[in-house]
Amino acid sequence: MKIFKLPDLGEGLQEAEIVQWHVKTGDTITVDQPMVSVETAKAIVDIPAPYDGTIERLYGNPGDIAHIGAPLVAFEGESADAGAGTVVGQVEVGQKVARTAPMGAAPAPTAAGIKAIPAVRALARKLDVDLAMVTPTGTDGMITGGDVQRAARILSDAGPIELLRGVRRAMAQNMMLANAEVASATIMDDADIHGWAGGEKVMLRLIRAIVAGCKAEPSLNAWYDSRRIGRWVVKKIDLGIAVDAADGLLVPVLRNVGERGAEDLGTGLANLIRDARARRVPPEELRGHTITLSNFGTIAGRYASPVVVPPTVAIVGAGRIRDAVVVAAGAPAVHRVLPLSLTFDHRAVSGGEAGRFLGAMMADLEQPQ
């Protein structure tokens, strides 16, 4: 047999989910014929045949997770040499995009510090219970057999586990990476937008304000390298827009927002959100952003601690606009205010820098137009 292994899909991706086989055992296929569609953390791509041949075996079923370098398809015939089965880096992966997802991340770190005696760990394995999910009741945080059995009953009542796929799987990995790595801090304030004329487009005003913040404090438009303990302050502002989609959170990128006019930004933003919700955003437009905006106030909420995803160092959250009592000209008055939350990576950004960034945003938002 000649073994074809799952090729390197780029961007540091280590795994892919088999979505659909386009061939079956016994089929005779030609080079570049699509064999299988796989979904990574970024997109669904078609993997073509590396050469002509007859398929002897398929490894994996739809829904299975395949790892880079693992056997994918076996062809009839003998390998020319011991390394013939390794095709990593030798095959062009199809670029047809069916659906796209946010930036991928490294696998989540494993839980540590769980206290349980060997017999309890064996019981957990028997009942298929992850000890990291169990609330301990024993002395000094020790998990008891009763704790494991209680968790098993709860899981049994809940039914079979729903494995996260595609966008939600990538989202979970991103959040775990951020939680494990970023030293996050959040500051919050309200922008008084009482002076706005009717019909102001909130997202465009927020984007303009972020540009003003980046001009005042460029260090928030940056990438951080945790290995070398350094940062790159980026001149061009490529804004990641958090989009709430049916499959989970997507963060497509609105490019070069600091150099574009309001009409161009409005058209680009509308197209970006539409394509994100329809899963039509090309993979290259789901990566490479330098700062992020989450306008969660369109749903609910006043303030938040949005999550900074490496390598970026800052994310702006905008809450729901509301009427509030403020002091105006020395007297109480009711004004419209827009709540703002700024989470930043304290490894790369100081509190003063974050404060000046937020202050510049507020000053821009409080302008009448």
Domain with residue 189: its CATH number is 3.30.559.10
Instruction: Give mean pLDDT, residues 12-30.
Output: 86
pLDDT of residue 43: 66
- The reply to whether 86 falls in a domain is no
pLDDT in tens, 221-260: 999 888 888 889 999 999 999 988 777 788 889 999 999 9
> What CATH number is given to the structural domain containing 154?
4.10.320.10
Q: Are residues 139 and 249 in the same domain?
A: no
Res. 51 pLDDT band, cuts 50 70 90: confident
**Position 27 pLDDT exceeds 80:** yes
- The reply to whether 325 falls in a domain is yes
**Both tokens assigned to 238:** 């490529």
Higher pLDDT, 177 or 26: 26
pLDDT of residue 99: 42
Domain span at residue 134 reads 103-164
pLDDT of residue 79: 59
pLDDT in tens, 330-365: 999 999 999 999 999 999 999 999 999 999 999 999
Q: Are residues 66 and 116 in the same domain?
A: no
- The reply to whether 175 falls in a domain is no
Res. 295 pLDDT band, cuts 50 70 90: very high
Q: Percentage of the chain surpassing pLDDT 70?
A: 88
- The reply to whether 172 falls in a domain is no
Q: 56 in the Ramachandran plot: left (φ > 0), alpha (ψ -120 to 50) or beta?
A: alpha
Q: Are residues 246 and 115 in the same domain?
A: no
- Rounded to 5°, the CA angle 93-279-306 comes to 110
Q: Are residues 117 and 62 in the same domain?
A: no
- Choosing from 35, 56, 75, the residue where a domain stops is 75
Q: Are residues 32 and 152 in the same domain?
A: no
Res. 193 pLDDT band, cuts 50 70 90: very high
Instruction: Give mean pLDDT, residues 72-101.
Output: 51
pLDDT of residue 90: 36
Which of 212, 241, 187 lies closest to 365 in space, CA to CA? 212
| The model's pTM | 0.64
- Choosing from 131, 164, 197, the residue where a domain stops is 164
Q: What is the CA radius of gyration of the chain?
A: 25
- Choosing from 26, 56, 75, the residue where a domain stops is 75
- The reply to whether 329 falls in a domain is yes
Q: Are residues 360 and 230 in the same domain?
A: yes
Sign of CA dihedral 193, 194, 196, 200: positive
Q: Are residues 14 and 55 in the same domain?
A: yes
pLDDT of residue 83: 41
Q: Are residues 137 and 57 in the same domain?
A: no
Average pLDDT, the chain: 84
Q: Are residues 194 and 343 in the same domain?
A: yes
Which of 91, 113, 102 lies closest to 39 in space, CA to CA? 102
- The reply to whether 353 falls in a domain is yes
pLDDT in tens, 106-125: 333 334 478 889 899 999 99
Measure CA of the first residue to CA of the last residue in the chain; give whole Å.
Answer: 69
Q: Are residues 160 and 304 in the same domain?
A: no
- The reply to whether 171 falls in a domain is no
- In this structure, of 59-73, 90-104, 141-155, the range with the lowest mean pLDDT score is 90-104
Q: Are residues 124 and 152 in the same domain?
A: yes
pLDDT in tens, 303-315: 999 999 888 999 9
CA 251 to chain centre: 7
Tell me the sheet residues that pair with 317. Answer: 294, 341
- The reply to whether 263 falls in a domain is yes
Our count of domains for the chain comes to: 3
Question: Are the CB atoms for 367 and 357 separated by under 8 Å?
Answer: no
> What CATH number is given to the structural domain containing 25?
2.40.50.100
Higher pLDDT, 76 or 12: 76
Instruction: Give mean pLDDT, residues 131-160.
Output: 87
Q: Are residues 107 and 49 in the same domain?
A: no
pLDDT of residue 92: 40
